[in-house]
């Protein structure tokens, strides 16, 4: 059987929910059995060999293993997804979503779940800090189920309630989830493992489920890759004393050797260089040795190493690289990178927002998220925001799209002034979730404001009654007391009689000697009506309707009936009947 490579695992979660503590706890685990291999420290990652995992899980172990271990990357979870890619997706093969069980879902937890959904990455939920559940009796490193059996019913119920909340939260994102020991099919249901990163409880099950998932989901992917062409992702470009510019990388495929030629995807073109040195951190016991690194001749995936090579100046974190053997290989790599970039950035609309992000990964994640919430995208690119982006955004017909979304990038000089001039709004954030949230909220507020404006501008229905005992002037204009029977009356609206004939225009309104611009249902006040003479055109006690223009009536009837009072609705229907007596299609 072919050897499988080590799966790469990323830990995601909200600030302070315990990512670092969990990794430390796994790393610091001391296992008594001598035969268990030790933990190997990589650059930017830690490898937990399978023997050690077996030891930690020895009380509950029930899977047949085919993987060599698990490689946990140190890059903060969401960055590992949005910044670090590999061909066709995210760098991490698997993820642990860590949630403080006492606090539940938080903004970054939501961001993490969206990312996992976007990249279709299998994950386990670690419901952390169970030792903080009031009444919880801890036992170091115990499997969760063993610990669970020792708790009293009251404490158990408290944890159960928290777990149900998590199940509900995950459901909102379209995942069915349950506590791991109640799951039959792990490919359909997300496992929630209650743990404590402080006491180590639950860690055995957590690791075992990860191993199980890796083997179930990834076996095909992981096979064969150890012998193939070396492929990896740049974590960081760093200057090292005595070595010059170096790259910390995660090798996710194949075997890389000193002397290999590699092609790295740069911002504008592909950089070709050759590997002069491969460095690993020295094992802890050799820390007294002056150098932090030890040089190796070759390394096999998955692994985190430091590469020494010339021409690394223009290399960006998050870029992919690949070992190449010929000009043909370089050409293919260049074409593939270009195509991938185009595939991601080209799916754009004619009208829509401008999106700028720091890496291809974040671009992909944000495009997916924006599609999900139906925000159109006109332009999506990696890079800082420049004046062309402003022009591009301002050319949108819909104001809602005159927007630039800047994720983890800079605004180049002059951009803000230009945006102010063109009325372009810029949203600049470093957390995907916050960026999306702000844009969504702004759009909703804008839409509401527009709706309000639209309603404001419409002539609204009203039914009024002239008050015979308050006729102040008979004509030019007629001034008479009225009662608003339904709706609201404004200046400058036309009036009609119940037979449909015109009854003048409201020129002004006065209440208790003051001019008013609107009169509400139930109010009594004096109005000046132009174009009629009381006694000739109008009786003293007639009922009149506001003559709503046909276009307004159409909008009201179609979209805005809900904004009218019950009485106004009735009056509006009466008004429509008057109009439709003559023309049945009026306002339709
Ligand atoms: N009681 C208890 N405290 C925990 C547990 N896990 C983490 N903590 C504490 O919670 C705090 C935050 O933990 P971290 O591991 O730093 O959290 P993090 O998610 O890595 O935080 P950032 O790196 O800032 O995103 C620390 O004070 C930990 O000691 C746990 O299982 N039980």
Pocket probe for ligand 1: among 11, 21, 102, the residue whose CB has the most ligand atoms within 8 Å is 21
Identified catalytic residue from 42, 78, 537, 552: 78
Q: Is residue 78 in contact with ligand 1, taking CB distance under 6 Å?
A: no
Q: Which two tokens stand for residue 492?
A: 């400058």
Map tokens 């119920």 to a residue. 157
* 483 labelled binding-site residue: no
Which residues, other chains included, contact 368 with Cβ-Cβ below 8 Å and sequence gap of 6+? 118
Position 84 scores a pLDDT of 67
pLDDT at 287: 42
Residue 568: predicted pLDDT: 94
128 annotated to a ligand binding site = yes
Helix (H) or strand (E) holding 503: strand 502-511
- How many angstroms is it from 19 CA to the middle of ligand 1? 7
CA–centroid distance, 132 to ligand 1, in Å, is 12
pLDDT at residue 157, rounded to an integer: 96
Q: How many helices (DSSP H) and strands (DSSP E) are in the chain?
A: 14, 33
Predicted local confidence at residue 43, as pLDDT: 77
pLDDT for 83 equals 65
User: Is the CB of 86 inside a 6 Å radius of any atom of ligand 1?
Assistant: no
**Which three-class secondary structure state does DSSP give residue 224?**
coil
H-type alpha helices, 411-565: 415-422, 432-457, 550-559
* Distance between start and end Cα atoms, the chain: 74
Domains delineated in the chain: 2-224 (3.40.50.300), 226-341 (2.40.30.10), 345-441 (3.40.50.10050), 462-580 (2.40.30.10)
Does the Cβ of 106 fall within 6 Å of ligand 1?
no
Spatial separation of the C-alpha atoms in residues 407 and 213, rounded to whole Å: 32
CA of 129 from ligand 1 middle (Å) equals: 8
Distance 77 CA to ligand 1 centre (A): 15
Q: Give strand ranges (E) for 210-269.
A: 231-240, 244-253, 255-257, 261-265
Q: Cβ(197) to ligand 1 under 6 A?
A: yes
- Tell me if the bond preceding 417 is cis, omega within 30° of 0: no
- pLDDT by residue, tens only, the chain of 588 residues: 456 788 999 999 888 899 888 988 887 665 444 444 566 677 778 888 888 888 888 888 877 888 888 999 877 666 666 666 666 567 888 999 999 999 999 988 988 898 888 888 899 999 999 999 999 999 988 999 999 999 999 999 999 999 999 999 999 999 999 999 999 988 889 999 999 999 999 999 999 999 998 888 776 666 555 567 899 988 888 888 888 889 999 998 889 999 999 999 876 678 999 999 999 887 654 444 456 788 999 998 888 999 999 988 878 777 889 999 999 999 998 988 888 777 766 667 889 999 998 877 788 888 888 988 899 999 998 889 999 999 999 999 999 999 999 998 999 999 999 999 999 999 999 888 789 889 999 999 998 888 888 888 889 999 999 998 899 998 889 999 999 999 999 989 999 999 999 999 999 999 988 999 999 999 999 999 999 898 888 887 889 999 999 989 998 998 888 889 999 999 999 999 999 998 999 988
Residue 540 is labelled as binding a ligand? no
Please give the pLDDT value at position 381. Answer: 87
**The pair of three-digit structure tokens given for residue 305, joined into one six-digit string:** 């190493």
Active site residue 552: no
Do you find a cis peptide bond into 477, omega within 30 degrees of 0? Answer: yes
Distance CA 165, CA 163 (A): 5
Q: What is the token pair recorded at 273?
A: 């260089």
């Amino acid at each position: 059987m072919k050897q499988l490579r080590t799966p790469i695992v990323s830990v995601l979660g909200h600030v302070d929910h315990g990512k670092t503590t969990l990794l430390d706890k796994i790393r610091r685990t001391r296992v008594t059995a001598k035969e268990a291999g030790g933990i190997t420290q990589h650059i930017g990652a830690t490898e937990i060999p399978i023997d050690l995992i077996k030891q930690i899980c020895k009380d509950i172990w029930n899977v047949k293993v085919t993987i060599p271990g698990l490689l946990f990357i140190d890059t903060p979870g969401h960055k590992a997804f949005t910044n670090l890619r590999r061909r066709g997706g995210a760098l991490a093969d698997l993820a642990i979503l860590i949630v403080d069980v006492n606090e539940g879902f938080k903004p970054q937890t939501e961001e993490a779940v969206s990312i996992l959904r976007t990249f279709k990455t299998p994950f386990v939920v670690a419901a952390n800090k169970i030792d903080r559940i009031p009444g919880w009796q801890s036992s170091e490193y115990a499997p969760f189920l063993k610990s669970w059996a020792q708790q009293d019913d009251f404490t158990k119920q408290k944890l159960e309630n928290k777990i149900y909340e998590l199940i509900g939260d995950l459901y909102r994102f379209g995942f069915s989830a349950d506590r791991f020991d109640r799951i039959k099919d792990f490919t359909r249901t997300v496992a929630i493992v209650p743990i404590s990163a402080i006491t180590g409880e639950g860690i055995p099950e957590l690791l075992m489920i990860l191993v199980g998932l890796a083997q179930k989901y990834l076996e095909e992917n992981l096979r064969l890759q150890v012998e193939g062409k070396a492929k990896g992702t740049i974590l960081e470009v760093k200057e090292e004393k005595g070595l010059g510019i170096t790259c910390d990388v995660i090798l996710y495929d194949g075997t890389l050797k000193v002397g290999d030629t590699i092609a790295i995807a740069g911002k504008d073109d592909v950089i070709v260089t050759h590997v002069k040195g491969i460095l690993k951190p020295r094992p802890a016991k050799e820390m007294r040795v002056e150098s932090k690194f030890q040089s190796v001749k070759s390394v096999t995936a998955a692994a985190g190493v430091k590469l020494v090579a010339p021409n690394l100046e223009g290399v960006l974190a998050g870029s992919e690289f690949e070992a190449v053997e010929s000009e043909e290989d370089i050409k293919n790599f260049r074409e593939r990178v270009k195509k991938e970039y185009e595939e991601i950035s080209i799916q754009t609309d004619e009208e829509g927002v401008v999106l700028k992000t720091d890496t291809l990964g974040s671009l992909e994640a944000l495009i997916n998220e924006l599609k999900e919430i139906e925000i159109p995208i006109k332009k999506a690119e990696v890079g800082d925001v420049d004046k062309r982006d402003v022009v591009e955004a301002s050319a949108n017909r819909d104001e809602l799209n005159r927007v630039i979304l800047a994720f983890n990038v800079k605004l180049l000089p002059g951009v803000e002034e230009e945006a102010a001039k063109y009325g372009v709004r810029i949203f600049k954030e470093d957390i995907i979730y916050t960026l999306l949230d702000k844009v969504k909220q702004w759009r909703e507020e804008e839409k509401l404001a527009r709706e309000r404006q639209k309603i404001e501008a419409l002539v609204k229905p009203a039914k009024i009654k002239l008050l015979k005992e308050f006729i102040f002037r008979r004509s030019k204009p007629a001034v008479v007391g009225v009662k608003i029977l339904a709706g609201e009356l404004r200046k400058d609206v036309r009036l009609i009689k119940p037979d449909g004939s015109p009854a003048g225009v409201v020129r002004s309104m006065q209440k208790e000697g003051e001019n008013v611009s609107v009169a509400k249902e139930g109010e009594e006040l004096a109005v000046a009506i132009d174009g009629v003479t009381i006694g000739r055109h109008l009786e003293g006690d007639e009922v009149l309707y506001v003559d709503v223009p046909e276009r307004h009536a159409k909008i009201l009837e179609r979209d805005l009936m809900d904004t009218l009072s019950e009485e106004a609705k009735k009056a509006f229907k009466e008004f429509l009947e008057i109009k439709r007596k003559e023309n049945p299609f009026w306002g339709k």
